[in-house]
Structure 1
């Protein structure tokens, strides 16, 4: 189950979809201009290029699996299990953690867009590029969700004062 947790967290810190992390090759992690490591890959769904700097938590996960035999043989970054098996384990993790909603790999991508990037001031155009969106409107969906959360949080604050 640690593997499933690691892959889910990797997606939270990279924004990659399940299909993209499953096919991610070691050759798609390259050294950027400031000696930082970047993922440069084509999204399976849209055939657009995603360019994502590797944040330290994601880099730790990459390092954890660099000597994995399956990864070495296939040239992959992570030994991703089949989608059905991964989601089954995610459900089990959610149950153990008392999470009362359907935990999926898309939630990891959503977390990257909202909590990791937009909430921390990363411009929406940059987020769109990292997510491999062709259209900014697709990324704006995440910003609307963020606005709703801000509104709900402020409502709770108002109710608390009363």
Structure 2
């Protein structure tokens, strides 16, 4: 039996994980795509809703109509508890997400179950997302990247603070949110253009 830790100064190194996200162009291409097949339209809409709210599949699947409330700014907000952590997420509804909500407000399945969107099983969602990626010419695996896309492409790269993103995503630690940080070229370009304006003003 060891009485002394033989590795008191050892610190394991964490390898940076590359998190795939959709670009703004890929989001727009998917939004505009006309599939002509109801199941693909439905899965695409649920996926895009996650991209614009940061909610995971299980949270969207369980999201009730009663969890859409009027926020302090007079706009619609999502107030829901995340299944994974039970943390409360408060998310203002962006126009892209609102348009999807309106598409399904009279959907029979949603009315019967009192859910916001008609969400298929995870297995079916994943299968159809592969088909959607092919049809939209997106060479990425779409499963598990909607939440990353919200954190990166939709919010952080548009100047939303880590603190705000953490609150909306239901993170209990800002370190969790920082994992999602992936600065894209357009954000670098935008920041440097702003810097250039300040420097030329001297």
> SS state of the match for residue 145, structure 2?
helix
1:33 Cα deviation (Å)?
1.7
Q: Which of 96, 103, 107 does residue 135 from structure 2 map onto?
A: 96
1:109 and 1:102 map into 2 onto residues whose CA distance is 13
1:109 Cα deviation (Å)?
0.7
> SS state of the match for residue 110, structure 2?
helix
Q: Does the alignment pair 1:138 with 2:176?
A: yes
The unaligned stretches of length 5 or more in structure 2 are 1-39, 190-202
Q: Does the alignment pair 1:38 with 2:77?
A: yes
Paired positions, count: 149
5 Å-filtered alignment, 1:5-154, equals 5-104=44-143, 106-143=144-181, 145-146=182-183, 149-150=184-185
1:98 Cα deviation (Å)?
2.2
TM-score by length of 1: 0.88
Of Structure 1 and Structure 2, the greater helix share is in 1
TM-score by length of 2: 0.71
- The structure number with the bigger radius of gyration is 2
1:29 Cα deviation (Å)?
0.3
1:99 Cα deviation (Å)?
2.0
- Cα deviation, 1:62-99, whole Å, max 9, x if unaligned, reads 01100011101111000100000001000001111222
1:35 and 1:73 map into 2 onto residues whose CA distance is 28
Q: CA RMSD in A?
A: 1.5
The unaligned stretches of length 5 or more in structure 1 are 155-162
